[in-house]
């Protein structure tokens, strides 16, 4: 299937990522009492009701990630995929950690720095696996992403094909559905029951775009949409407290999840291919650094100026400042450091290949044979990889 693209990215997908990032920012700045030192329902009587569901931006990120990571692993080796992810994720992440640590250390109003040893461990992005506190609370999602990358790496070892991706969807769905009953820590940790439906649905949507929609893929998507409803109450409790489960309606969350599935489905089916606004590509590139820096730094600024600047103006100003800072990180750190890191890692990957490639033995002279006519090329099947160059490198 030939994909129509805006430049070398799907602009609509960038727009969906931007929407998800702004949802999370809106939730942290408007719904939470922490930066304001008291509940925000009196500060933002109307906006507060909407912002309470902004945490669903994380689920949208996972849905998009399933789509784009499936795209990224196609026709790549494990080494190439690792290089692309490391060079994409770490430059902005390192900048975000250091900037957040400096701000929190200088103005410990919302949170405090637990020690530079914690910051150093955070630089690995593996703190979620050894119970080290995150320098910024939003970093918990990055460890979930890393586990997803590891799952996709296993698929790459067997070969990224239509058939193997379907097997992954089936096995992962089963593991995620049974994990709460099995209560096996390892299965629960990697099955990620709360978030698996979004990753899996994203994979199925990409298979629709790469190949074509069919009954199997639609069944997978609908099944994941239904399974995603199972954990809405627990996610409400995690983000807004246990009381929210009894006081807040869940239908807005369900409606937002359906809308996210519908939007990604439209992208997968090519409905949004005509959207070619260049500003979306630029904005999409800012979503990752914006996500990394907005919470602790932004909430600290809100808390510091909450009594001197009107609340709506303060939220708008801090959001604009975070977007500008994200732009600076992207242009001054993420792009140049990412390019250098990618080049360095590719060179190292080439050295590894050179050393592990076995030496050829001297071949014996072949016995002359009568050439046989070659057969006509076969039409590629779903379980055979087809030529395709990944063109999207999102979070």
Instruction: Report which of residues 367 and 262 the model is more confident about.
Output: 262
Using the Cα atoms of residue 73, residue 75, residue 79 and residue 83 in order, give the sign of their dihedral: negative
Using the Cα atoms of residue 334, residue 337, residue 343 and residue 349 in order, give the sign of their dihedral: negative
Query: Alpha-carbon distance 129 to 233, whole Å?
Result: 25
Hey, which residues does 69 pair with through a beta bridge? none
Side-chain-side CA neighbours of 147 within 13 Å: the count stands at 20
Hey, which residues does 306 pair with through a beta bridge? none
Reported as a single tens digit per residue, the pLDDT across 141-183 is: 999 999 999 999 999 999 999 999 999 999 999 999 999 999 9
Query: Alpha-carbon distance 114 to 1, whole Å?
Result: 51
Question: Is 94's pLDDT higher than 90?
Answer: yes
Query: Alpha-carbon distance 86 to 84, whole Å?
Result: 6
Question: Is 392's pLDDT higher than 50?
Answer: no
Helix (H, G, I), strand (E, B) or coil at 21: helix
Helix (H, G, I), strand (E, B) or coil at 109: coil
The structure tokens listed for 298 are 């932004």
- Describe the crossing of helices 335-356 and 78-106 by its angle, rounded to 10 degrees: 140
For the chain, first and last CA: distance in Å? 24
Instruction: Report which of residues 34 and 364 the model is more confident about.
Output: 34
- Give the H or E element holding residue 231: none
Question: Is 277's pLDDT higher than 70?
Answer: yes
CB atoms near residue 89 (< 10 Å): 21
Q: 289 and 226 in contact (C-beta within 8 Å)? A: no
Query: Alpha-carbon distance 214 to 199, whole Å?
Result: 19
The structure tokens listed for 351 are 């050295």
Q: What's the mean pLDDT in 241-270?
A: 95
Query: Alpha-carbon distance 158 to 73, whole Å?
Result: 12
Query: Alpha-carbon distance 290 to 31, whole Å?
Result: 18
Instruction: Report which of residues 282 and 30 the model is more confident about.
Output: 30
Instruction: Please state the domain extents for the chain.
Output: 24-351
CB atoms near residue 314 (< 10 Å): 21
Question: Is 103's pLDDT higher than 50?
Answer: yes
Whole-model pTM: value is 0.88
Phi, psi of 6, rounded to the nearest 5 degrees: -95, 105
The structure tokens listed for 177 are 């559905």
Helix (H, G, I), strand (E, B) or coil at 6: strand
Concatenating the DSSP letter of every residue in 184-195 gives -HHHHHHH-TTT
Q: What's the mean pLDDT in 94-106?
A: 96
């Amino acid at each position: 299937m030939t994909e129509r693209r805006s430049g070398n990215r799907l602009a609509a997908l960038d727009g969906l990522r931007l929407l998800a990032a702004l949802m999370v920012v809106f939730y942290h700045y408007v719904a939470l009492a922490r930066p304001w030192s008291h509940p925000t329902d009196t500060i933002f009587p109307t906006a507060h009701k909407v912002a309470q569901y902004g945490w669903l931006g994380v689920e949208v990120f996972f849905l998009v990630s399933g789509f784009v990571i499936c795209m990224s692993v196609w026709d790549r080796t494990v080494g190439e995929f690792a290089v692309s992810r490391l060079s994409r994720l770490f430059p902005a992440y390192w900048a975000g950690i250091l900037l957040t640590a400096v701000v929190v250390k200088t103005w410990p109003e919302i949170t405090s720095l637990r020690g530079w040893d914690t910051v150093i461990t955070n630089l690995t992005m593996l703190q979620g696996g050894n119970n080290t506190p995150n320098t910024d609370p939003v970093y918990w999602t990055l460890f979930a992403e890393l586990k997803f990358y590891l799952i996709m790496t296993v698929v790459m070892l067997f070969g990224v094909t239509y058939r193997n991706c379907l097997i992954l969807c089936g096995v992962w769905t089963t593991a995620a559905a049974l994990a709460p009953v099995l209560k096996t820590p390892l299965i629960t940790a990697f099955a990620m029951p709360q978030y698996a439906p979004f990753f899996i649905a994203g994979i199925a949507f990409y298979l629709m775009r790469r190949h074509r929609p069919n009954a199997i893929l639609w069944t997978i998507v609908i099944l994941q949409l239904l399974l995603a409803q199972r954990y809405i109450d627990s996610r409400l409790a995690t983000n807004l407290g246990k009381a929210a489960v009894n006081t807040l309606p869940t239908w807005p969350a369900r409606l937002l999840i359906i809308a996210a599935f519908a939007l990604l489905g439209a992208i997968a089916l090519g409905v949004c291919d005509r959207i070619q606004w260049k500003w979306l590509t630029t904005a999409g590139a800012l979503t990752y650094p914006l996500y990394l820096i907005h919470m602790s730094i932004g909430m600290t600024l809100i808390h510091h100026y909450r009594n001197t600047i009107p609340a709506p103006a303060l939220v708008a100003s801090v959001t604009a400042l975070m977007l500008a800072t994200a732009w600076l990180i992207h242009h001054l750190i993420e792009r140049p450091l990412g390019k250098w890191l990618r080049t360095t890692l590719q060179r190292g990957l080439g050295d590894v290949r050179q050393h592990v490639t076995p030496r050829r033995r001297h071949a014996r002279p072949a016995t002359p044979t009568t050439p046989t006519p070659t057969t006509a090329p076969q039409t590629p099947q779903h379980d055979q990889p087809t030529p395709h160059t990944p063109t999207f490198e999102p979070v």
